[in-house]
Amino acid sequence: MKKNVVAPSVGESITEVSILKWAKQNGEAVKNGDLLLEIESDKATVEIVAESNGVLQILKQEGDRIPIGEIIATIDDSATASATPPAPPGAKPPAPPAPPSAKAPTPPAPPSAPSMAPPPVPGASAPTPPPMPTASAPVAAAAHTTDGPTLSPAVRRAAVQHSVDASQIHGTGKDGRVTKGDVLQAASAPAASAPSAAPRPAAAPVAAPKVDQPGDRRVPMSMLRQKIAERLVHAQKTAAILTTFNEVDMTAVMKMRSEHKEAFKAKHGVNLSFMSFFAKATIAALKEIPEVNASIDGKDTVYHDYYDIGIAVGTDRGLVVPVVRGADQMTFADIEKKIGELALKGRNGKLSMADLSGGTFTISNGGTYGSLMSTPILNPPQSGILGMHKIMDRPMAVNGKVEIRPMMYLALSYDHRLIDGKGAVTFLVTLKDHLENPEKLGFNY
C-alpha cells in the first residue's frame, strides 16, 4: 500500500514551499522516523520524516516549488528496494549500450519511381533520360508566375531572392529586357518610391532580452533570499527610514567582561559576550523612549510593553532574525544561552516559525564581519534597529588629555513617521550611558 508524503503547512500565510534537499534516494528503503528531505519556505527550513516503512518513490525534485498539501513522494510498504534505484519522474532513461560488433545499418536507397517509358526495342540504343530537376526549378517556376518578357535564370533567381516583381521593372537591357542589375536596383530602391501609406505610430521601445556573458553563472534565488529582498524593498518603500549615529567607549564593558568571563563560563557553560550587555542596555533605552519599541498599524501607534528582541544572524542562505522573547525578564546568562541556541539553529537551518515570528526591536552586529559603520534597514513592522560595529582603538580626548580608547560606532535606523530626531538621539545617548557605566545594567551571575 502506498502512503503519500505531502508538503506540510508551515505557517498561516505560506502557500508554497521549495524542496531544499533530499536526504534519501529514489527507490531507497526507508523506516518510520527517517529524515526524508528538507523543505524551505520564505521564512524557515523544515524537516520531513517518514511516517511508515517502505520504498520511497520521489515525485518532486530539489528546487521544485510545491503548493501546500501537494504530494511530493510516496512510500510503498509492499515494495522491495531495488539494487538500482529507478530514475525519478521526468528523468530521461539512459540509452542502451550498442552491441560490441554491431555496425550502424546503411539506410536502403529510396525505391525508384516506376518508369513510364516503353520497354526498349531490341537492338535500339537506349533513350537519353530526361534531366533531373534541380534546385533552380522551383525558382524558375516562381518567376514565370508573373507576366512580362522572358527572364534569364540569373534574373529569375535574383527576383525571387529579393522579393521583387520583375513584371513591374522597366528593363534597360537589349529590347527592353530586365537585367539582374535592374532587379538589384529595384530591391534597393527606398520605400518612398512605393505608393505612400498612412504613417504608422511609432512602436514602444522593447528592452533587449538579457544575454548572459561568458563567465556569467545564473542560479535561482532561494525562497528565503527572495523574501529577504521583498521585505527590504517593502521597508524602503513604506517607511521613512533615517539613521543617526553615536559612539561608545567600551573600556568599562571590556573590563567587566574580562574580570568575570571565566567564572561566568564555568558556572553557566556559555561565553560572556558583548551581546548580552547590548541587549540589557537596549532594553533600558527602549523603556526610556517607548516609541522606538512601538510600530505603526494603519493610523494607529501600537506600543509594546514587552521586549522581544530580534538578533540578526548571518547564515549561508541569508540573514535571519530569530527573537529572544521577554528579554527584559532574563539574566545575562539566560540571554547568552538563548542567543547561542538561536544562532546555532539558524546556521543549521533549523529555526522554526515560532523562533522567527514577532519581535519589537532588532539588534544587528556587523562588527563580527569587521564593519566600522553602516546604516541598517528596518525589519518591518518594527520601527527601530540598532547596528553594532567593530571595536577600534582610537585617540580620544579624556579629561583634557588624549588617550587611546576602544571605541565603537553605534547606528540607530528608525521610522521617522513615528520617531522624531530627539527621540532617536536620546535613545542612543541612554544606550551609551548604560554601556559606559555597566554597573547600571545590574550585572550578576
Give the catalytic positions in this structure: 416, 420
For residue 342, what is its C-alpha cell?
538561536
Q: Tell me which residue of 235, 256, 297, 260 sits closest to 441, measured CA to CA.
A: 256
Which residue in 361, 353, 356, 355 sits closest to 381, CA to CA? 361
**Under 8 Å between Cβ of 71 and 83:** no
C-alpha distances in angstroms, 436 versus 6, 330, 397, 399?
54, 21, 15, 15
Which region, left, alpha or beta, applies to residue 259 given φ > 0 means left and ψ of -120 to 50 means alpha? alpha
Q: What is the largest CA-CA distance in the chain?
A: 133
C-alpha to C-alpha distance for 288 and 430, rounded to whole angstroms: 8
Tell me the backbone φ, ψ of residue 395, rounded to 5 degrees: -75, 130
Is residue 392 within 8 A of residue 408, CB to CB? The reply is: yes
